[in-house]
Amino acid sequence: MAIIKPFKAVRPTKDKVAYVTSRSYQEYSMDELEATLNYNPFSFLHIINPGYKFSKEVTGEERFNLVHNRYLEFLEGNIFLKDSKDSFYIYQIEKGKFKCCGFFCAASVGDYRNDIIKKHEDTLSSREQLFAKYLKTVGFNAEPVLMTYADDINVKEILDLEKQKEPEYLFTTPDKIKHTLWMVSNEDSIKGLVREFAKIKSLYIADGHHRSASSEVLANISQMENPTHTGNEPYNYFMCYLIPESEIRIYEFNRMVKDLNGLTKEEFLIKLDALFRIEKKGNVLYKPTKKHHFSMYLDGDFYSLFLRKKVYGFTDGLSKLDTQILYKTILDPILGIKDLRSDNRIHYGYGKHNVIRMKDEIDHGNFKVGFSLVPLKVDEIKSIADAGLVMPPKSTYIEPKLRSGMAIYEF
């Protein structure tokens, strides 16, 4: 069953936490990134952009070493502190009407190997190896793997009891998200959480497949290099954020394609008619409403596409996913997109207003056709993971998105 461990986190001092923690690097525009680096000396972005100090672009091993140096500077400058006691860390996020609460802990690489920690995405070996090398050089992990578990009343009772105490952090970021963190160092609560998770059959990766896989690569390398390996070393674990499955939000990724693969609009629609019941909806924004129902935007008009189930057979859980149906019926056979990861003719978009963005991109001639899907359900993700299957890339966009530098796990 699932093994979790408390750990001694490295984390920002209470007076600086709002300045230190950052969104994922990819979420910043170039202007925003430059402004943050120029005017916020405490931002975690200085650690992962170490070349900024020297006004130089750095890559590879040189960058890894400089990341390590910047990290040490944050420790030496008392921007970071290291806790003296092993703890779990409850982290609650409130964004408008969305509220979720989970906790940071160390998860077992062994559980990942033994399929107790389940995955639903493929990973690229080259990325695994590169990130493992990065982890080994810098010596820490600041971005937890987001994992879910089936809602458990006993776990909730322990967390709720701890949340009655004074929080360690309580701050709101400029994006109007409220962040609250409690340290769980009480021995009874720690033992209770460890005990309850030992009863849980499976944990499911929601976000962070490459981080998980890289942690296993790092553990394998470290074990081979350690003649006194016991299995208890920090490299045998990786940091995760565990959250009950009812508290995650799953959004869809829309698909936009640059051309019709040599077909005219009329030829394309005729090919679609063999597999879908097509209804023209005009230029008013239109979104799909249920599984196996798609919205398409083409040449100034939205279309409703209903799958003709008599001509498309369901063979397993993967074949029932809308992202797989779209690939098998349109993207591959009609539009000629074989590799959803690397083909530069296809792009993906996500977010509440992405149908509007998709329409604008197509109206401006950047893409020819776009498809909107309904979000997957958590049960669909679990069934794919339980069956050992792999979803098409960009099948889900999952929240919460965690801030980097809130809690750091050292190897």
Host H or E run for residue 279? strand 276-282
pTM of the model: 0.93
For residue 113, give every residue at least 6 positions away whose Cβ sits within 8 Å of its Cβ, in sequence order, or none: 216
**Single-letter amino acid, residue 233:** E
Whole-number pLDDT of residue 350? 84
Kindly report the number of other CB atoms within 10 A of residue 357's CB atom: 15
Among 368, 231, 371, CA closest to 293: 371
The token pair that represents 7 in the structure block = 């750990």
pLDDT of residue 313: 87
Sign of CA dihedral 263, 267, 272, 274: negative
Length of the chain: 411
Mean pLDDT, range 357-363, rounded to an integer = 95
The answer to whether 330 touches 403, Cβ cutoff 8 Å, is no
Q: In terms of DSSP bridges, do strands 145-149 and 237-244 run parallel, antiparallel, or are they unpaired?
A: parallel
What is the residue whose two structure tokens read 């493992």?
132
Mean of the per-residue pLDDT values for the chain?
95
Question: Degrees (nearest 5) of the Cα angle 343, 345, 351?
Answer: 100
Contact between 385 and 118 (Cβ < 8 Å): yes
For residue 301, what pLDDT is reported? Answer: 97
The pLDDT, as a whole number, for residue 346 is 96
Give the per-residue pLDDT at 239.
Answer: 98
Mean pLDDT of 25-46: 93
Which residue in the block uniquely carries the two structure tokens 């750091």? 408
Q: Is the pLDDT of residue 352 over 70?
A: no
140-172: per-residue pLDDT in tens?
A: 999 999 999 999 999 999 999 999 999 999 999
CA torsion through residues 314, 318, 320, 323, sign: negative
Q: Taking a C-beta distance cutoff of 8 angstroms, is the pair 392, 339 a contact?
A: no
- Please name the helix (run of DSSP H) or strand (run of DSSP E) that holds residue 76, with its range, or none: helix 60-76
